[in-house]
């Protein structure tokens, strides 16, 4: 009797081997010992999936090597921008968000496959606790914009008498901060951003989500050495302005009506000493309260939109002078 029981148990393990391996991948890689117990069980976060739900879920796993974009706004912008290949979109059953209808329509128009799946399955495909808002897109990994190509575009703008405005981040490590900064850069119409290759966050799924889709539009380039980049920008007549609380000049007193690169330091540390020394000028945002500084993403927005204000004012003044001269 015991022999028959062992044979039956062994057959069951063989038949369920593939399902268990996939279950391991889904749960982030539990130990092999857990996967080969005599009592096979598929349970995730107190939710026992049916066979049909598991079949649907596992069909998604073929795309897990791709980058995930989740949330209504990021997925919408990825579809609108058409900068990266979208392999599949998964929408939660019963999701009522009105903009999901636009996602479905764009997916159909762009020939992107999509399907519905239980909300619990979507929750398992994103990082713990992330708010996917009922939609996940699997896309080709985000490509950084070639640094030399971006620099060439900026230099050509300078040669043409234009005033490019770029951002350099000196060690921002929080992905949500980077996402918010990219959103600000896109809204302010800046020409691109440079990130250091080391000791800084890159283009992750959290960054894409936090940027509300800005990663689809902003030119993000990586450089090996920020200080060397500063030297090169100076050689091409671009003013390098660092933001730091120790500065004596208010950000409103600096003239942004010229080619400028704004450098922002990392959370809590600010600009590295050598980076600050290489800047043409340092500016600060005066604080009125008891807290010493703003979040780096907020500071980025304040300064970039001050630059926009000055440039708009200058353009309007120039236009007004031309009209008077014409009269």
In a domain, 33, yes or no: no
Please tell me the pTM assigned to this model. 0.65
Q: Left if phi > 0, otherwise alpha if psi is -120 to 50, otherwise beta: which for 142?
A: beta
**pLDDT tens-digit readout, 108-148:** 988 888 888 888 888 887 766 678 888 888 876 567 899 99
Q: How far is Cα 230 from Cα 238, in angstroms, rounded to an integer?
A: 9
Cβ contacts of residue 325 below 8 Å, gap of 6+? none
Domain housing 217: 147-318
Q: What is the CATH number of the domain that holds 292?
A: 3.40.1280.10
Q: How far is Cα 7 from Cα 233, in angstroms, rounded to an integer?
A: 73
Q: How far is Cα 174 from Cα 201, in angstroms, rounded to an integer?
A: 7
The CB-side HSE value for 213 (13 A sphere, CA atoms) comes to 15
Rounded (10°) angle between helices 175-188 and 296-326: 10
Q: How far is Cα 155 from Cα 158, in angstroms, rounded to an integer?
A: 5
Q: What is the CATH number of the domain that holds 114?
A: 3.30.1330.30
| Cβ–Cβ < 8 Å for 63, 125 | no
- Same domain for 135 and 151, yes or no, is no
- Of 81, 115, 141, which residue is a domain's last? 141
Q: Give pLDDT < 70 ranges for the chain.
A: 1-66, 97, 127-129, 140-142, 319-327
Q: How far is Cα 28 from Cα 42, in angstroms, rounded to an integer?
A: 14
Note the pLDDT of residue 326.
Answer: 59
- Same domain for 200 and 224, yes or no, is yes
In a domain, 196, yes or no: yes
| Cβ–Cβ < 8 Å for 135, 75 | yes
In a domain, 26, yes or no: no
């Amino acid at each position: 009797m015991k022999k028959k029981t062992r044979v039956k148990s062994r057959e069951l393990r063989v038949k369920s081997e593939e399902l268990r391996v996939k279950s391991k991948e889904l749960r982030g890689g539990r130990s092999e010992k857990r996967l080969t117990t005599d009592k096979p069980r598929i349970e995730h976060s107190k939710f026992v999936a049916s066979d049909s739900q598991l079949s649907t879920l596992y069909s998604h796993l073929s795309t897990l090597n791709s980058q995930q974009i989740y949330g209504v706004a990021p997925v919408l912008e990825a579809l609108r921008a058409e900068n990266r290949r979208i392999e599949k979109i998964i929408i939660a059953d019963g999701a009522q968000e009105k903009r999901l209808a636009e996602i479905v329509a764009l997916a159909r128009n762009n020939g992107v496959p999509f399907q519905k799946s239980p909300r619990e399955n979507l929750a398992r495909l994103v990082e713990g606790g992330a708010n996917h808002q009922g939609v996940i897109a699997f896309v080709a990994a985000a490509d950084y914009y070639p640094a030399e190509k971006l620099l060439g575009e900026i230099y050509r703008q300078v040669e043409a008498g234009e005033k490019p405005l770029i951002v350099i981040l000196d060690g921002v490590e929080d992905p949500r901060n980077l996402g918010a900064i990219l959103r600000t850069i896109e809204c302010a119409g800046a020409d691109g951003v440079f990130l250091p290759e080391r000791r800084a966050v890159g283009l992750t799924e959290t960054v894409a989500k936090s940027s509300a889709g800005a990663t689809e539009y902003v030119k993000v380039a990586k450089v090996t050495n920020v200080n060397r980049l500063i030297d090169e920008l100076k050689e091409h007549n671009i003013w390098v302005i660092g933001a730091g609380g120790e500065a004596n000049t208010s950000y409103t007193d600096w003239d942004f009506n010229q080619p400028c690169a704004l450098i922002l330091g990392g959370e809590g540390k600010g600009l590295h000493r050598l980076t600050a020394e290489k800047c043409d000028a340092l500016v600060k945002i005066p604080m009125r309260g008891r807290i010493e500084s703003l979040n780096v993403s907020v500071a980025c927005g304040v300064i970039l939109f001050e630059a926009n204000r000055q440039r708009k004012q200058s353009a309007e003044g120039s236009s007004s002078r031309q009209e008077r001269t014409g009269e």
